[in-house]
Amino acid sequence: MTAREVVELIKKNHTIPWNDRSRRDTFKAGNPDVTVKGIATTMMTTLDMLKRANAAGLNMIITHEDTFWNDPDDTKDLTENRLYKLKTEYILKNDMVVWRDHDNMHASTPDYTVVGELRSAGLKAPERVSMRPGVIVIPETTFGELAAQVKRSSGARALRCVGDPKAKVSKILIGPGYATPRITPDVDVVIGGEQQEADGGFDNIEYVMDAASLGVAKGVIMLGHVISEQAGMEDFGNWLRTFIPAVPIQFVPAEEPFW
């Protein structure tokens, strides 16, 4: 089976009609007609991740985020960049190929990135969860205890929290990557991937800081973009096995960037 044939199977089995207009969901590097020895699913195609996939005998990479350091993987200004040359040479030398599934995954139900993010936070996912799963109600706890649970469950080493750790909380909104939800009066905590601290459409960080000063129970937990969506690519790999049984499929996580 070639990488191109794998992609056609994914398009055929997706839960929604495939959007071919997506500039993200395309081949990014390598030969689409290479024979697939094994598939690695990952959040981000770093060179370290590529090396681990190659060592495991997996030469097709299905990534959720970019490979060449910008959202559309535009390489026209990178042709003389040493890192671009070395990364591309490594992919080609080892008969590897990289393909991305981003827009269509987020448009699907379930959105595996959200399923994985909820699991990473130690929260149960609703059935048929979408990119915006709505308010999740948990037994009342303190914000500090919730943050400690999220850190344990996700394994994140660079978790960032805003708010009073003693505040009592129970109503949570969650969103992957940049889809960190806006905190609202009827929600206690927002858990997201990443967000501007200021100058955004609505500054959750400053709002929660002011809430804490007034004794209002609000909190924000930032997992980081990679951690927030990483686990979902393991779920995505499990889904692939339901219709691609003849090819080894393995989740190869990208490394957490922050420390």
Q: Read off the pLDDT of residues 83-119 as tens digits, 9 standing for 90 and up.
A: 999 999 999 999 999 999 999 999 998 999 999 999 9
pLDDT given at position 200: 85
Q: Do 76 and 117 fall into the same domain?
A: no
Q: Is the pLDDT of residue 152 over 80?
A: yes
Q: Do 86 and 124 fall into the same domain?
A: no
Q: Is the pLDDT of residue 175 over 90?
A: yes
Dist. CA 108–CA 13, nearest whole Å = 11
Q: Which structural domain, as residue segments, surrounds residue 199?
A: 112-227
Dist. CA 237–CA 189, nearest whole Å = 30
What's the mean pLDDT in 207-228? Answer: 97
Q: Do 125 and 163 fall into the same domain?
A: yes
What's the mean pLDDT in 203-219? Answer: 97
pLDDT given at position 132: 83
Q: Do 123 and 213 fall into the same domain?
A: yes
pLDDT given at position 127: 72
Q: Is the pLDDT of residue 139 over 80?
A: yes
Query: Does a structural domain hold residue 257?
Result: no
Into how many domains does the chain fold?
Answer: 2
Beta-strand relationship, 219-222 and 97-100: unpaired
Unique residue bearing structure tokens 């009609």 = 17
Q: Do 85 and 118 fall into the same domain?
A: no
Instruction: Give the end of a domain, one of 87, 107, 127.
Output: 107
Instruction: Give the end of a domain, one of 83, 107, 131.
Output: 107
- Angle between helices 47-55 and 82-93 in degrees, nearest 10: 10
CATH number at residue 207: 3.40.1390.30
Contact indicator for 230, 253 with CB cutoff of 8 Å: yes
Q: Do 137 and 91 fall into the same domain?
A: no
Q: Is the pLDDT of residue 258 over 80?
A: yes
What's the mean pLDDT in 13-23? Answer: 92
Q: Is the pLDDT of residue 78 over 90?
A: yes
Q: Is the pLDDT of residue 183 over 80?
A: yes
Question: What is the residue-averaged pLDDT of the chain?
Answer: 95
pLDDT given at position 15: 86
pLDDT given at position 158: 94
Enter the tokens of residue 93: 């030398």
pTM for this predicted structure: 0.95
What's the mean pLDDT in 133-158? Answer: 95
pLDDT given at position 126: 75
Angle ∠(187,188,194) on CA atoms, nearest 5: 90
Dist. CA 117–CA 177, nearest whole Å = 10
